[in-house]
Amino acid sequence: MSVLELSRPPLRSGPRRGSRHNRGPVRRQYPGNLFRDGPETVVIDWGFAGIGPLGEDPGNLVFDAVLDFFVRPGQFEELCHAVFSGSVEGALDGGWTGDPDRLRRAMWALGAVKYLWVPPVMVETLAAGCPTLNRRPTEEAFLWWAPLVGPIIDFAGRALA
């Protein structure tokens, strides 16, 4: 079974929930739309709100936070733990009665499938001699992006395990 095949059940038949539901190349659960209100985090951006698969937004958020330079790569594991634990806790608190491991696997699968494009784009950027990547100098962007290649592959492996 491929990661793409593994992602189909959460996308098509898995549990549904409110989602930012952005499908474009730039607009996803965007870290710039997250705001602190004391100890709470609030999402403000309803332009693409809808119903989406449980696990889609957390899988997007953790990678976007680093790829868009909001969270340093060295904080990725801590971010994953906080986002994924909070997502499972929130789903259970909201009345979801499913298996938390299934939700974690959905987050891993959906995150991996959506970001498997990163390593080839990095190679293409170097091969083409592009001066920038995601609006940053290529060398600077690579310092942020390169540490995510392993986690992208790891997410795929975890989802398939």
CB 159 within 8 A of CB 81: no
Q: Quickly count helices (H) and strands (E) in the chain.
A: 6, 6
CA dist 104 → 3, 4, 123 (Å): 14, 16, 30
> Bridge partners of 34?
43
For residues 53-78, one letter each, b for 16 or more C-beta atoms within 10 angstroms of the residue's C-beta and e for the rest, the string is bbbbbbbbbbbbbbbbbbbebeebee
Q: How far apart are CA 139 and CA 100, in angstroms?
A: 39
Per-residue pLDDT at 24: 38
Which residues, 6+ apart, have CB-to-CB distance to 105 below 8 Å?
A: 6, 10, 158, 159
- Residues 161 and 145: their CA atoms lie apart, in Å, by 25
Q: How many domains does the chain have?
A: 1
Query: Which pLDDT score, from 0 to 100, does residue 23 have?
Result: 41
Range of the domain at 81: 3-160
Please tell me the predicted confidence (pLDDT) of residue 48: 62
Query: What integer pLDDT is reported at residue 106 of this predicted model?
Result: 86
Per-residue pLDDT of the chain (161 residues; tens, 9 = 90+): 554 555 555 545 555 555 544 443 333 445 566 666 777 766 666 566 667 777 888 888 899 999 999 999 999 999 999 999 998 888 888 888 888 888 888 888 888 888 999 999 999 999 999 999 999 999 999 999 999 999 999 998 888 87
Q: What is the torsional sign of CA 91, 50, 160, 62?
A: negative
